[in-house]
Chains A and B, each alone.
Chain A
Amino acid sequence: MSATTLTARRRERVLPPAVTGQELILIGVIALLWVLLALANPGFLAPYSIQNMLWRLAPVGIMAIGMTIIIVTAGIDISIAAILMVCSVTIAKLIAENGWNFWLAVGVSLVIGAALGAINGVLISYGRVPAIIITFGTANLFQFLGLRIFNSKTVNGLPAERGILGPGEGGRFLGLPIAFIIMVVLVAFAWYYLRHFPGGRHFYAIGDDERAAALAGVNVRRRIFLAYLVTGLLVGLAAAITIAGGTSTLDQNVGKGQELVTIAATVIGGTSIMGGRGSVLGAVLGALLVQTVSSGVTQLGWPSQLSNLFVGLFIVVAVGADLIRERRRKAKL
């Protein structure tokens, strides 16, 4: 092997391209779908249609940032739907029943989200139990907590003030949903941090080979703990957007299934479920693809169940592609 190919490969392995092949494919698929949907139904590209889709993208996209970091470290968090429920009901109760200011309630939600994430983080990084089992357990515990706060009653009479993060007219800046703008800023920051900061690269090192990372001086436990803590914090923010776009009542179904939507978005976006590879840009594209498919199915008047079929196929294809890439990579070494 010549020296030039060796350096080329080394460079490639240190930093993947800014936009990966899978992300390019996703952009292509989404663009194709949007063109097809627009041709089938001009209403798809109406301003409000696009604004609403971007708004819906925000909570999933924000949670997917955390999920990407976690999956990159070869972990997973299936408790985020339960955290979302606890945070949402907390905000709702504080503003509807205790007359709190919305932003103060959001502050509490962020603290609770971070605290619940920290519980996951401590158990996983210091307990050394597989993340899927721990977060399955905490998901049930958090759900219990949320149901206790609900106390078998819906929260009624949520005020109109929450509109700033909502999908309506009061929640837009220069025509773009404010929630979406917040998501873009967070994604941009996370993308840059994960790619160019040593702290960000450490997450990848852990996912690739935890032992090697530890030997190289990475504080593995602290990094893993941080991944879950940050995810909880982001879920606390997603809860604020969920409340802002919800109805005047909140019931216990809030957040249901969001962990699967978020994991689907992350995996479809090219993050390897084995750890060590992935980007938040891909996760947001994955979320947009899932969003497009479920909207498209409704807008075309197709049976609702087809969106499950398509999302399922995308996940299988994405994971399959990832495994094939992994095998090729191993064969090359």
Chain B
Amino acid sequence: MNLQELILRLQSYWAEQGCVLQQPYDLEKGAGTFNPATFFRVLGPEPWSVAFVEPCRRPSDARYGENPNRWGAYYQFQVILKPSPANVLDLYWGSLKALGIDPLEHDLRLVEDNWEAPTQGAWGLGWEVWADGMEITQFTYFQQMGGFELNPVASEITYGIERIAMYMQNVDRIHDLNWVGELSYADVHLQAEVEQSVYSLEEADVAMLQGLFETYEREATRLLDLKLAYPGYDYVLKCSHVFNLLDARGAISVTERQAFINRVRTLSRKAAACYLAKREELGFPLLKGEARETLLADASRSGG
């Protein structure tokens, strides 16, 4: 199965399960959890089911396209189900079957792995999913996001597209993955990977980036103070990416590192609080039926 067919099958499988198919968010980010379709939507009482491909950038993983498994840019396929349904694991096994991975042909295992994203003020419990020893998915029940306890809890399924494709196509290097037809992953992405590696590891202008971090941080704060959740959050994402670039350039010492993380986390929390307040103001429009009645009744009882 080529790489784009793999994505198409995941999309159609999760669309059949009732997920909104969103598209990647148009800003640099290190993981799908930064997409507002995840970061914002898992907050608050409103139900939400979404699936999307997310291109991710991890400047410190850049290796000029020379490492067989590690590239600075790669894809995640993320599925958020909120509230997490009781059969979420069965749905997940179903998605593997849709990809042609038969659980009786392979050794599929859930291996404890707890997730934490300090810059997002987030953590959850779950597993790595192993197929014959290869980690192909990260499965997490989010417990906190942006510093807020989640209720209801959302489940997050993140497929490593390249990992699964390597596994299914029996290849040993990301390079050699078949994208479609005669085209390999390298044909599609290698030049960008090499150039971005040079940028991330050698050329990124540290002084400029440090300046940008300050600027973006101020702008994020200003916008969030204006109760503009989405634009404010965009600047949080920019801060996060600039921090990642500085880190890849080795421009952040161990002690500074924690300080940077704290600054981004503070912004994330502010963005989460801003989004939640806005949704509440809007009356949590996606909340329907019994859940809505219960919430409104609770709110009126607590005088809120």
Real binding pair: no
B residues adjacent to A (C-beta < 8 A): none
